[in-house]
Structures are given as structure tokens and as C-alpha cells.
Amino acid sequence: MALLRPQPGAFYRDQVSRLISWGHWFTFFNILLALGISSRYILANPWPETQLGISYLILSWLGHFSFVGFITYLLTLFPLSFVIPNQKLMRNCSVVIAVLVLSVLLVDTQIYHVFKFHINPTVWELLLKEAQSKAELNWNFLFIVIPVLFLLELVISNYAWKMQLRRRKKTWGTAISTVLVSCFLLSHITYMAADAKLYEPIISQRANFPLSYPMTARSFLSKHGWLDLEQYKSKAAQVAELEHGKQRLNYPLKPLQVTEPEEKLNILLVVVSGLRADMLNPDVMPFLSGFAAKNQQFTQHIAGDNDHAGSLFSLFYGLPEAYRSNFDAEDISPVLLDELQRQDYLLSAFSSNGLNQDIYKKSIFHSVRQISRRKNELTPHSDQQTFASWQSWLGRQNQDRPWFSYLNIAMPATLALPADYQGPFQPELTDSNPFAAFTPENHNKFINRYKNAVHYSDEQLRQLITTLQEHQLSEKTIVIITADRGLEFNETNTNSWGSGSNYSTYQMQVPLIISWPGKTAHRWEKLTTHYDLAPTLLHDALGMENEDKTYSSGSNLFANQQHDWLLLGNRQHYVIYEPNTITEFNRQGDFSVYTRKNYQLVDDARPNMAALLQVMNELTRFKDAQ
């Protein structure tokens, strides 16, 4: 009797069945391998401080990568089992797919280990194009790991095929799958409860793993009266601030070495709030433009942020504002002020905005042992009062002791001109209704009001320099005049008025003029930033011998070194200023590229990958590596 041969359809179904069974085992072992690789995410972060937080970390790690592995199987190997019934070809294709997926995971762990930042489609595309950029990442390990992965996948593929040939049900496989599925479900349920309670040891882990989107149930809970959304939002903001400042700092990177100069110069730092760079011309600021021509003028100077507090942080610390919450949490004061106190400088501060702001109380001056100021300096007042207080203080000083004085005037930002002051730019806006300034018919009047406020400040700066000369201090004092940020009057046609709305040159480019005894006049055309002031004073005025990078993101203004790009912004938005472009990106990795000249969005533009990865390194290099 002739043997019955299986029909073609039956043979096909049998092959597909075998491949699907093999695929289950192949996926299972690859999930275990992915868990091993992804353990780098756990090692890259400090462990949670509570047992519940640790339990959630383990649950989410097991559940997340098991789920991602299973979804990868459903989207790739499962449909391919029907398309490629040849088991050898199918297994080889699966090995290639597994190696590619795990290689992407390896790359992401490397990026996260260095920058605490996951790649997204845009970053991945750039990495493929510029894998050997000037970044801090080392990709050489891939040349060793990928061949090892390939060999390991061949072993897994062969072993999984033998497993399915046995056609025996493995209860332990089912048990492990049940555990992994339970971990996935339980981790999301746990996160939903933690999110509603804003339990920080758990919600701080939401971005630990790539493609991780923990479930929340705020709308459902609010609908049933179990959650007050307004109260939740208020508390969430506080938790976010606490979370950002929690990571410990390694600052400065090396012990500071200082050789004090024999002749110590006084230092006067003047910050004019709201003064943008194009106002420095003979028509609007006749005194300061002439003063700049006789001293050190930096024509391409960019503020640290478009916000008053963020810009001042960058000016005193020489660091991005993104570090501010970390420094506040650890009560770390600026190296500049610490060294001034160590060298017995007398410190004073005067601000028309008042010194009761957090940027002064919690950051810049919080550790100053003794600081001179007027009695009512904590509250806002007029520029006239600020200048009068500073002049009175200066007249009482003993010239044998060096001093550092900070002076902040706010007329260009507030436009609060004295009632009896008649500026040269007319007609000007006099309507006190703030909305009247934004109407087309009042546009030029609004700008004239601003120019008159700047002109008034110019006269006060003339008075300041005259006061120094009268006290015979001009040859003993370093005078720095700059601004916190500029003001825009919708020049970018983005409905932007004032500051804080975008990162155009109207809001970011500010004057920087330095009068330094012994230095001849020079006009600097290179890119400079607020980060550069602290290392300049520390090195050239106070005798700091450390490299600038050990305590600052800036560099000495008078060195030959030039910035190819500048890092600006705050903890929410990071900005890369280059000679021709402005690249803005947020913590989620979304990018926008604008022209620097007129702030026009560049379609289909790609950020400078080398600069981007160096920026991510700059934002983390003073934080403890785990």
C-alpha cells in the first residue's frame, strides 16, 4: 500500500504552525535577552528611596520589556510566518530582525546612560547620518556587541526550533508568561494610583524606559469626584520642581586652585533690565555707545535666557538655568561670590526690582555672609532711588578694601518714566492701558516710549561713571554693563511683545561693555554669552587657575577661544544659538529650527547633531554619574 503524501495545503499549515510555535520560544528568549540589556536603564538612575518605589521599578521593567517584545513579535515574526513558510529562511530573517531591534535598544541605553535622554525618530535619523560626530558617545562597542548578538541569536534560533520539535507543553513557560503579563498589568494599575496621589518615588520613573507611556486615570477619577484637578495641578508643579532638583551635583568637577592677585580691582556689575542690543547707538544711547567705543565691546553677546531670573542665574553661575533647581536644592552658591568673599571683598546689591525674589534669596545671594543694601531694598522701587542708594553706599566705602557691587535698573523693562521727563523720541505712548500699546496705530508710539526709557537709563549710566570718576575709582574698578534680556515689539510677526515669548535676537541679544583698567579698547565680533562672565572675572580678576570647564559652561571672554554655538534657555526649553540658525527643543525631544536673522521657521531643517549631543552632555556633566 502506497504511503499517503500530505497535501500542499496541509504541508503549508503544518509549517506555519511550527514557525508560530518556534516564534513563541524565540520571542521568549529574546525578551529575556532584552531584559538583560535594558538593566542598563536601572543602573543609570539612583534607586528609589522606598520599598514601594523599588517594587514598581522591578514590575515596570519586567512588564514593559515583555510587552514591547510581544508586540514586536506580533508586528514582525507572526505575519512573516505566513509569508515565509520556509523555516530556514524565516529563521534567518528573524535573527536579522532580532539583532536590529536589540541593537537599537543598545544604542538607546548608551544615550540614556550618558544623557538621561531617549532617542526619538528625529534623533535616530540624525544618529544614522552622523554616528561618528563629535559627540561624547562611544559607538565602537557596537562593532564587538553586534557580531556577538548575531551569534547568540543563531544559538537561540536553533534551540527554540528544537524546543518546538518536541511538541510538549511546558508548564513552566506558561507560568513565566503569566508572571510577565501580570507584571505589565500590575505596573500600570500601580502607576495610576501613584499618579493620582502624586507619589514621587513612582511617578519620577515615568521616563525611565523607551516607548514607556504609563496609564493615568485623572479624568475618570475627577468625573466620579475622587480627584480635584485644580489641586492636583498645583501639587504636580511642586512635585516636578522637587523631582528636577533631586539629582545630586558634582560641582565643581575639581578642587579650585587660586593665586590671589597683589592688586585687587573693584568690580561693578550693572544689569539693565530689558535693554536689547540694537538700542546701543548714538541716537538712543549717546553716552553708552561712546563709552563702549573706548572700552571692550562685545557685539554678538547673547543672554542666558529670555526670562529675568534665568538670565541672572546664567550670569552669576556661568551655567544653564536648567541647573538652577539642583543648585537651590543643595544650597550651592556661585563660585564667583564664594571666591569674592574668600578674598575679603565687600559685597553690595541694589535692584529696582527688589531683592526679595527667589533668584536672589535662594540662589545668588543666599550664602553671602554680609551684603550691603538699603533698608527697603527688598521691595521694588524707582531707578532714581536705586542710583541714589548706590551713590550713598559708595561714598561710605574705605578705599583700602576691594568691593563688588551689583546694580540692577529696570526702566527699559517697566517703561515707568518720571512724569516730568520728556524724551527725545516723540510722539510716545502715554495711555496707561496696556492693551493700547498693541494696536497698529500705537505701534511706533510704543517703540518711542521704549527708546525714551532706554535714553533715560543712558543718562543714569553717565551719572554712574561720573560718580566713579569723582571718587577717583575709574582706574581701580572693572565696570561691566549688560542686560538680562531684550524686549520685542512683534518684529518677528509672531504676536510677540516684551520678553519670554521666543528666543529671537530681539529678546536674546543684549549689549556687553566692559571697562577694565589696563586693557585697551577693542571691538569683539565673536559669539559670547552670559556664561562667559563668571570665568572671565574668576580667572583674570581673582586669579583662578582651574580650567573654565571645571565650574562653568562658558569661557574667558578675552581668550582666543570662540564658541561655534551657544547653549541657552531653561529647564523647559533648550536653545542652540549658531551663527545662522536658532534651534529650540524641549525635554521630549521636539525640535524647531529658525533663521537667526529674522526668526523664520526653516521647513524640514535638521539640528546640528554634533552640537545637540554636546548640549545634552553639558546639561548633565555636573550631575553625579551613576
What helix, strand, coil percent values describe the chain, rounded to 5? 50, 10, 40
* DSSP line for 535-561: HHHHHHTT-B-S-GGGT-SS--TTSS-
| Residue 366 pLDDT level (bands cut at 50, 70, 90) | confident
Among the listed residues 425, 568, 579, the one whose alpha carbon sits nearest the alpha carbon of residue 508: 568
* Structure-block grid coordinates of residue 524: 569683539
**AA identity, residue 619:** L
Q: Whose CA is closest to 612, among 594, 588, 589, 580?
A: 589
Cell of 35: 531584559
DSSP state letters, 422-490 = --SS-S------GGGGGSGGGHHHHHHHHHHHHHHHHHHHHHHHHHHHHTT-GGGEEEEEE-S---EES
pLDDT score recorded for residue 484: 96
| pLDDT score at 15 | 83
The set of cell numbers assigned to 322 is: 536648567
Is the pLDDT score of 179 beyond 70?
yes
Average pLDDT, the chain: 85
* 110 vs 595, more confident: 595
pLDDT band with cut points at 50, 70 and 90 for residue 267: very high
At 523 the pLDDT is 96
Q: CB atoms < 10 A from the CB of 130, how many?
A: 16
Each residue of 607-620: pLDDT tens digit? Answer: 777 777 788 778 88
Asked whether the predicted pLDDT for residue 289 surpasses 70, the reply is: yes
* DSSP at 599: -
Q: Does residue 315 contact residue 324 with C-beta atoms inside 8 Å?
A: no
pLDDT band at 246 (very low <50, low <70, confident <90, very high): low
Cell 494696536, located at residue: 439
Q: How many CA atoms lie within 13 A of 607 on its CB side?
A: 27
Tally of CA atoms within 13 A in the half-sphere of 567 that contains its CB:
27
- The better pLDDT of the pair 484, 10 is held by 484
User: Shortest CA distance to 267 belongs to which of 75, 476, 25, 528?
Assistant: 476
Contact yes or no for 626/45 (Cβ under 8 A)? yes
515-to-103, 150, 266 alpha-carbon distances in Å: 55, 64, 11
Hey, CA dihedral for 160, 161, 162, 168, is it positive or negative? positive
Is the C-alpha dihedral spanning 141, 147, 150, 152 positive or negative? negative
Residue 152 has pLDDT above 60, yes or no: yes
- Residue 522 pLDDT > 80, yes or no? yes
Give yes or no for residue 3 having a pLDDT over 50.
no
Q: Residue 258: pLDDT above 90?
A: yes
- CA-closest candidate to residue 142, choices 131, 134, 133: 131
- Helix ranges (DSSP H) in 215-323: 218-223, 229-244, 286-293, 308-317
CA distance 618 to 563: 14
pLDDT digits (tens, 9 = 90+) for 542-581: 999 999 999 999 999 999 888 989 999 887 788 999 989 9
The neighbour count for residue 96, using CB atoms within 10 Å, is 11
Q: What domains does the chain contain, in order, with CATH numbers?
A: 8-244 (no CATH), 270-618 (3.40.720.10)
Q: Return the amino acid letter for 583.
A: T
pLDDT digits (tens, 9 = 90+) for 459-517: 999 999 999 999 999 999 999 999 999 999 888 888 888 888 889 999 999 999 999 99
| Residue carrying C-alpha cell 533647581 | 325
- Burial pattern 359-384, b for ≥16 Cβ within 10 A else e, equals bbeebbbbebeebbbbeebeebbebe
**Predicted pLDDT of residue 116:** 67
Q: Per-residue pLDDT averaged across 407-420, rounded?
A: 92
- Check residue 364 and report its DSSP letter: I
H or E element in which residue 291 lies: helix 286-293
